[in-house]
Structure 1
Amino acid sequence: MIRVFSRPIPLILALAFCTFIPVMLAAVRVVQIPLGAVPEDSLRLTSVPTAYFLHAVAGSLFGFLGPLQFVRALRRHFGTLHRLTGRIFVLAGVGLALSGLALLLQVESIATGLLDAARGVFGLVLIAALTLGVVAARAHATLRHRAWMIRAYAVGMGQGTVALILFPVYLINGEPPTGLSTDIAVVGTWLLAIAMGEWVVRRLASFNRRSPSAP
């Protein structure tokens, strides 16, 4: 099963499926915010337009580039492109975290303290994971670098994976679900995504110990 995570097509499809909705919504916001066409349920975020726009742009780039960064063929045959997109990925991740923290601090929340606390903690964790990934890359510690980038992607996109459940509810009801039960689902799904990322990291480490020549 671990070989799935080392092959380009299955890996891209798996990650793209889990993050398609949040990446798509972020890309739509990139267009809507400058046009002043933000949906009513998100209007409160326009009180901090710069942070909101940066959050949308960074989320789009981070979510789109993440799956590509983990493709072995890209690393092997297009090393320069991998490094260039990797730098953009890291900058997008930092921008995503900082803009998210800015929105958390400056916009009146409609979520419970549970979700707000999770957003704050995971925003800081995302910055830490990206920093450790960059440090590992500069030390040419490839496996450690890859592990921290997988963790960073799991943290950065973890909240968005719950959209697979909540977005259909939003389409049916016409408004986003809120309340403690919803926030528990969001945090739980977020933690599950992080746990899955850590599982992949550990399985890859085990696979590389058995096959030291694997790239």
Structure 2
Amino acid sequence: MTTLQRTATTRRGWLIPAGLLVLGFIPVVAGAVRLTELTAGADITPANERFFAMPLPVVLHIVSVTVYSVLGAFQFAPGFRRRRPGWHRAAGRVLVPSGLVVGLSGLWMTLFYALPAGDQGLLTVFRLGFGSAMVVSIVLGVAAIRRRDIARHRAWMTRGYAIGMGAGTQAVTQAAWIAVSGTPGELTRQLLLGAGWAINVAVAEWVIRRRRRPRVSS
């Protein structure tokens, strides 16, 4: 492989992490705004009063999801991961607890916060289902690497990360709907949020199956 080919391959290897960072930008910014509200003493409204009444779960959720989305993106740069295996393992030790806090704090808020009417019903089912799936995926990913089963480890951690990045895709699905049809109704909004998680899971499964295909040498 020539130097030019290696450079092109390296650049392509960074496309996925860059895309994931872009996808996570809106949720990260939204989380930063929420933290600013809590720390600066913003006006309490029906939409945010639950966070002021009990700020710890949402603060943990925002901080952990920021770490998880940003640091996790670099785990999808194959060349970087191969060149720095020590970094990959060190980052994993941060990502696992961060991901578990993301999932568990999300479940806690769904079960114990006084949710507004638009967040109840079907959306509660989505949050409980996908939040539980995220936690289980991370736990199974850790169990797999302890058995030195790298393929299953990568598969389960990919699933967990895909679910954790749901908020980024949800911003896209809602923005696309608003651009075409205007502000969605309550049920449509809940379905668009569910679609964000479902799209990410579908893409993750496609990636996992693509990895499993045997490479045909020319």
The letter for the 1-side match of 2:195 is G
Indicate which of 105, 109, 112 corresponds to 2:115.
109
TM-score by length of 1: 0.83
1:197 maps to which residue? 204
2:106 maps to which residue? 100
Cα 1:205–1:23 change in 2 (3 A) is farther
Is the Cα–Cα contact under 8 Å of residues 7 and 72 in structure 1 kept in the other structure? no
Report how many aligned residue pairs link the two structures: 201
For residue 186 of structure 1, report the CA deviation from its aligned partner.
0.7
Unaligned runs of 5+ in 1: 171-175
Cα 1:10–1:165 change in 2 (3 A) is same
Inter-partner Cα distance in structure 1 for 2:82 and 2:60: 32
Residue range with higher mean Cα deviation, 105-114 or 87-96: 105-114
For residue 100 of structure 1, report the CA deviation from its aligned partner.
0.8
2:22 maps to which residue? 17
Identity %: 34
Residue range with higher mean Cα deviation, 58-67 or 28-37: 28-37
Q: SS at 2:115's partner residue?
A: coil
How do 1:14-163 and structure 2 match up within 5 A?
A: 14-37=19-42, 40=45, 41-110=47-116, 111-163=119-171
Unaligned runs of 5+ in 2: 1-8
Inter-partner Cα distance in structure 2 for 1:28 and 1:211: 49
Cα 1:32–1:199 change in 2 (3 A) is same
Residue range with higher mean Cα deviation, 47-56 or 36-45: 36-45
Cα 1:91–1:39 change in 2 (3 A) is farther
Is the Cα–Cα contact under 8 Å of residues 24 and 60 in structure 1 kept in the other structure? no
Render the CA deviation track for 1:17-59: whole Å, top value 9, x for unaligned.
Answer: 3222112222343444333347843332222211011011111
Residue range with higher mean Cα deviation, 25-34 or 80-89: 25-34
1:173 maps to which residue? none
